[in-house]
Structure 1
Amino acid sequence: MPHHARHAPSAPSPSPVKDRSPCAKAQHQRRHARFVHGNIMRHVITMAGTGAIGLMAVFFVDLLNFFYISHLHDPTLTAAIAFATSLGFVQVAVSLGMSIGLGANTGRLIGACRHFRARRHASAFLVLMLVVTTALGVTTALLAHPLLVLLGARGEALKHASHFMYITSPALPLVCLGMALSSLLRAVGDAGRAMRVTLTGAACTVIIDPILIFGFHLGLEGAAISTVLSRCVISLSGFLNLRGHDMLERPRLKIIPHASRDIGSIALPAIGTNMATPIGNLIVTHAMSRFGLEAVSGQAVVDRMVPVAFAFVFALTGSVGPIMAQNLGACLPQRVQETFLAALKLTALCVGLDWLFFALGEPLILHLFHVQGDAVGLVKLFCHWAVASYMFVGLLFVSNTAFNNLGHPLYSTMFNWARATIGTIPFVAIGVHYGPRGVMVGQALGVTLIGSCALITALTVIRRLPQRPQRPTRKSHTKRKAH
């Protein structure tokens, strides 16, 4: 970093005493808050762009899994993977919520030049994350069959989905660890290495998936095994890429309660926030199950395409968080507002381009995934109209990021659960009378309402941020001295 970026021109040369402050030590060791200087839009594009590549790689593997399974020409398998992954999204939501809390707290401490405390808290909180996700993964595996029955799975689809969960659920701590380490990399501003963490796991799955599914004829079981192997690679890659940032140390048990309290104040609401989205999807999946396996498969095609197509929008939620957190820690509310507005502009651009892509590519999508029956109408409706609702999904997600990083995590919890309840249940309940397409339209209308309300609230929160106290000028200092 250039010398003028580290020290403001008007600031006096630091004395030896001041050099011993935590902030001065952090500067001396080149542990800088990278986002409190420079062009905001460039920071957002860099962080979100690299994050989108990593997310796209992960979700593309999930899409590729579904693509391979669809070519086995067994509707019970495609429905099974739809049911299983809908339940798996609830597990991942817990991991994502804890990672958001870890990244927000770490970014805020780094922005305030408290690197050593950030490292100590991060190391201690990782222990708690592993304990929680291990318990959750094992419990879900044990209760997979009754949970899938509640979701609407029946017959062979239930059998295959249960077997998939038995294999993948116990490996939940591995993906949680990888997400946490990637979050730490984003918190220190190393977007490139954060991207590598997910890319290595994706590369592993791309290679192993077809070998297990087609080469060894393992079908859905092969997809489950490749998922576990991919999670192992992601966690290992996280440790390797975090080396050099000095963000981990031997966890201290006595620090765990304190770190859990600080990070948990953000993580718990974030978990509640992220739990709402998969719960809402479970409600939609259950509604689709009334119309048979073809409707469930059609919804599954949409659910697999959306994360890949909108990876940039979803990456904004994890990428602009550290930018906001560092500038909040440095008392720069104007840059926080610039970050939020930049994210909104990029969301609108991404949704517009994706809408064009889906409208033109609809025939190819129907052909590639062998869409049949009721699923055809669902995919066509999404490609031409329902895709526009993801503009409001983006507004909701970016607003939630602002809430989580600006000290109002309960707002994000409230709005996400509003989407999953009053923004889903009544609209889907009405839409179900008009068939599968009515369910999709109801879901789109609900998120439009909630996303708009979240945007208005986020803008209000940002406008009320305290302004940075101005330093006294030399003239005023002289006057006070004379008095």
Structure 2
Amino acid sequence: MAKTPPSGSKGSHARFLTGSIMRHVTVMALTGGIGIIAVFAVDLLNFFYISRLGEKPIAAAVGFAGAIGFFQISIGIGLTIGIGAAVSTAIGRADGISGSTAPRIATTSLIVMAVITLALGLFTAAARNPLLGLLQATGETKSMAATYLLIISPALPLMILGMCAGALLRSAGAAKRAMNVTLFGALAVAVMDPIFIFALHLGLEGAAISTVISRGMMGFLGLYYVHKQGLLGRPDFAQAREDMAQVGRVAGPAILTNLATPVGSSYVTHSMAHFGVAAVAGQAAIDRIVPVAFGTLFALTGAVGPIMAQNLGAGRTDRVKETLRASLIFMVIAVVIAWAILASVQDLLALAFQSKGVAADLLHLFCSWIAGTAIFMGGLFVANSAFNNLGRPGYATVMNWGRATLGTIPFVHFGEQYGPLGVLIGQAAGSVVFGLLAIVLAFWTVDRLHRDTMARVPVPIIAVPGGRNAASNFETDEG
């Protein structure tokens, strides 16, 4: 008797086509959230250890370098979204990895991604001083930030490789393996940072070196797991253009969409710089707390995508609609829990980062009130994931750039008149407006897709007692 292929093997079925949608969303978001938290925990740990040195210029340098690094990561996230959507759809159509084009698409995509991100990393290292000047970094702070970028930027492909590997693993439903890729990278930083920063007295350079080692671990472990999952194959260069066109249809708009966030964040950093290094250091602390505290929200973008894409590939638009609802419910619960925790530990955070004066005021305002507006940020993330995986990536681009421009610049400019706290409040206010707009547009998009799909489904005619014919009813998973 033939055995059922084990979960995660080449012959496994597309697992998101059956079972509880809420369970799929919860498992994928939580395991993905741990992975995302691990990625950004690297920056948080670096910032924590650097803060222990008690020098505000160093903390501000990490903040300026992080603003530029955010651009790099955003491009990487856009690539992973495109790769994940293409591979998930291929798996859904074939009801599994075996017999699908998923391994071919995955392998070609990883090669192209490595070339693109290597070029980006080298460019950043070469242009680091002009880029930092655009953010109003000056003097010793600018010099330290430039050194940090010079060390970590060439290792960008290793980190993005790990992120892409995680997206591929989630596409196949291997959430735990995807989580391990980034989790072990963060653990490496937790161990090596104290050694390089304090024991070897390397300071900021030590933090950069441990980051490079962590990125290498993520990249190589990610490749190993992708191979074990059966998603690596021999690249077919004859099909490469077609495969990358499929990835690019989502990745191109997704990259453009994700670049909007660091653009808005850079404007906020630029505005904070007007109030001195203490304000920049306070903003830097918040920027590193956000993805760790709300890691599950960032993970929803990658978690919801494969669920929607597999069901879309199988024509199950009813389950696509249910995925959107379940994701928003999960997101609200996650934000409320994280907000409560931040509010209760805000004094400990200020102590941990040695925040005083303006930096402490910014941190307390965020933990007490601003953190709650993450509900709208989460709504935007969920909506963007729906747009990217349902053939409407342009909607995500419009929403994100709207938030980064119309939802940031005028609000922050107005708030800046009232000091650094006003800058933070202005940034949050803009996210509320565009978060609501994105949620409304996402439901409209999914409803329209579902109606169009159901209109194309032929209704079978069955015989009924009395000699008349009637259309049979279809059972769906809605409701």
Q: If the length of structure 2 is used for normalisation, what is the TM-score?
A: 0.92
Does 2:56 align with 1:75? Answer: yes
Letter in 2 for 1:82: G
SS in 2 for 1:98: helix
Does 2:146 align with 1:151? Answer: no
Deviation at 1:471, TM superposition (A): 7.1
SS in 2 for 1:464: helix
Contact 1:122 1:259 in 2 (8 A): no
Deviation at 1:151, TM superposition (A): 0.6
Residue number among 69, 84, 87 corresponding to 2:65 in the alignment: 84
Contact 2:10 2:230 in 1 (8 A): no
Does 2:442 align with 1:461? Answer: no
- 2 CA distance for matches of 1:118 and 1:473? 38
Residue number among 411, 427, 431 corresponding to 2:415 in the alignment: 431
Superposition map of 1:37-56 within 5 A = 37-56=18-37
Q: Deviations for 1:94-145, whole angstroms, at most 9, x for unmatched residues?
A: 1110110000111011111174312212211222111111111101110001
- 2 CA distance for matches of 1:318 and 1:420? 21
State which drifts further: 178-187 or 28-37: 28-37
Does 2:335 align with 1:351? Answer: yes
Contact 2:21 2:319 in 1 (8 A): yes
SS in 2 for 1:261: helix
Question: In the alignment, what sits opposite 2:284?
Answer: 300
Question: In the alignment, what sits opposite 2:76?
Answer: 95
Does 2:217 align with 1:236? Answer: no
Deviation at 1:353, TM superposition (A): 1.4
Contact 1:124 1:255 in 2 (8 A): no
- 1 CA distance for matches of 2:186 and 2:361? 31
State which drifts further: 224-233 or 246-255: 246-255
Shift in CA distance, 358/69, structure 1 to aligned 2, threshold 3 Å: same
Q: Deviations for 1:197-218, whole angstroms, at most 9, x for unmatched residues?
A: 1111111111111100011010
Deviation at 1:403, TM superposition (A): 0.2
Does 2:101 align with 1:124? Answer: no
Question: In the alignment, what sits opposite 1:337?
Answer: 321
Q: Deviations for 1:408-438, whole angstroms, at most 9, x for unmatched residues?
A: 0011011100011000000111111100001
Does 2:253 align with 1:269? Answer: yes
Q: Deviations for 1:147-171, whole angstroms, at most 9, x for unmatched residues?
A: 0011111111000000000011111
- 2 CA distance for matches of 1:309 and 1:237? 25
Question: In the alignment, what sits opposite 1:164?
Answer: 148
Contact 2:42 2:211 in 1 (8 A): no
SS in 2 for 1:434: coil
- 2 CA distance for matches of 1:167 and 1:193? 29
Contact 1:128 1:256 in 2 (8 A): no
Does 2:86 align with 1:105? Answer: yes
Deviation at 1:254, TM superposition (A): 2.2
- 1 CA distance for matches of 2:17 and 2:129? 50
Residue number among 196, 217, 222 corresponding to 2:201 in the alignment: 217
Deviation at 1:334, TM superposition (A): 1.1
- 2 CA distance for matches of 1:58 and 1:235? 12
**Residues matched between the structures, number:** 457
Runs of at least 5 residues in structure 1 that lack an aligned partner in the other structure: 7-26
Residue number among 183, 203, 213 corresponding to 2:187 in the alignment: 203
Deviation at 1:281, TM superposition (A): 0.5
Deviation at 1:389, TM superposition (A): 1.3
Q: Deviations for 1:175-199, whole angstroms, at most 9, x for unmatched residues?
A: 1111111111000111010011111
Contact 2:65 2:148 in 1 (8 A): yes
After the TM superposition, which segments of 4 or more aligned residues of structure 1 sit over 6 Å from their partners?
Answer: none
SS in 2 for 1:136: helix
Letter in 2 for 1:467: T
- 2 CA distance for matches of 1:438 and 1:168? 33
Deviation at 1:319, TM superposition (A): 0.6
Does 2:380 align with 1:380? Answer: no
Contact 2:305 2:385 in 1 (8 A): yes
Q: Deviations for 1:282-317, whole angstroms, at most 9, x for unmatched residues?
A: 000000000000000111111111111101111111
- 2 CA distance for matches of 1:61 and 1:128? 26
State which drifts further: 445-454 or 199-208: 199-208
- 1 CA distance for matches of 2:338 and 2:94? 40
Question: In the alignment, what sits opposite 2:473?
Answer: none
- 2 CA distance for matches of 1:129 and 1:152? 31
- 1 CA distance for matches of 2:461 and 2:58? 71
Calculate percent identity across the aligned residue pairs.
47
- 2 CA distance for matches of 1:393 and 1:344? 11
Residue number among 398, 404, 413 corresponding to 1:414 in the alignment: 398
Contact 1:111 1:327 in 2 (8 A): yes
- 2 CA distance for matches of 1:344 and 1:221? 41
Question: In the alignment, what sits opposite 1:30?
Answer: 11
SS in 2 for 1:168: helix
- 2 CA distance for matches of 1:283 and 1:395? 22
- 2 CA distance for matches of 1:374 and 1:29? 55
Q: Deviations for 1:339-378, whole angstroms, at most 9, x for unmatched residues?
A: 1111101111111112212222221111111111211221
Deviation at 1:58, TM superposition (A): 2.1
Letter in 1 for 2:218: I
Deviation at 1:252, TM superposition (A): 2.4
Letter in 1 for 2:40: F
Question: In the alignment, what sits opposite 2:43?
Answer: 62
Deviation at 1:245, TM superposition (A): 2.4
SS in 1 for 2:11: coil
Contact 2:9 2:230 in 1 (8 A): no
Deviation at 1:474, TM superposition (A): 7.4
- 1 CA distance for matches of 2:9 and 2:298? 35
- 2 CA distance for matches of 1:39 and 1:406? 20
Residue number among 270, 274, 281 corresponding to 1:286 in the alignment: 270
Deviation at 1:255, TM superposition (A): 2.1
Residue number among 256, 259, 262 corresponding to 2:240 in the alignment: 256
Does 2:380 align with 1:396? Answer: yes
- 2 CA distance for matches of 1:176 and 1:28? 24
Letter in 2 for 1:252: D
